[in-house]
Amino acid sequence: MWNESFSATRPKLKRDSLGAIQVTAMTDIPLIDYANLDEHTRQRLAAVIATHTSLERALNWGRTQRPPLAVEAILTQDEYTHDVLIPFENRYLVYDTT
């Protein structure tokens, strides 16, 4: 279930002094809660994944956990989109990648 309190941060268009568009990258990744987590768990997981702005960052974070967390499965959605599943505390963090 989408929780509106965790809305996606879209790139913001800014212009430099010459009028050229500068793009600011995403700063937070939203938690989309399909598991109906309790509020404490949802807040904790949202804080964990907020900085996972790339799959590389998510994998680097996983390696720092004890025991280390690694990709358990990659599910192909179509020729360009894959879901990357990382087990975490008796559930999965699923990263949609393109």
Residues 27 and 66 in one domain: no
pLDDT at 6: 41
pTM for the whole thing? Answer: 0.66
3 and 41 within one domain: yes
Radius of gyration for the alpha carbons in the chain, expressed in angstroms and rounded: 16
Contacts of 11 (CB under 8 A, 6+ apart): 23, 24, 25, 26
User: Which pLDDT score, from 0 to 100, does residue 23 have?
Assistant: 52
Q: Are residues 64 and 25 in the same domain?
A: no
* Domains in the chain, number: 2
- Sheet containing 73-76, strands listed edge to edge, beginning at the edge strand earlier in sequence: 73-76, 82-88, 91-97
Same domain for 7 and 29, yes or no, is yes
Same domain, 43 and 13: yes
Structural domain including 94 reads: 54-98
Q: Residues 42-75: pLDDT tens digits?
A: 998 899 889 898 899 999 999 999 999 999 999 9
Residue 90 DSSP class: T
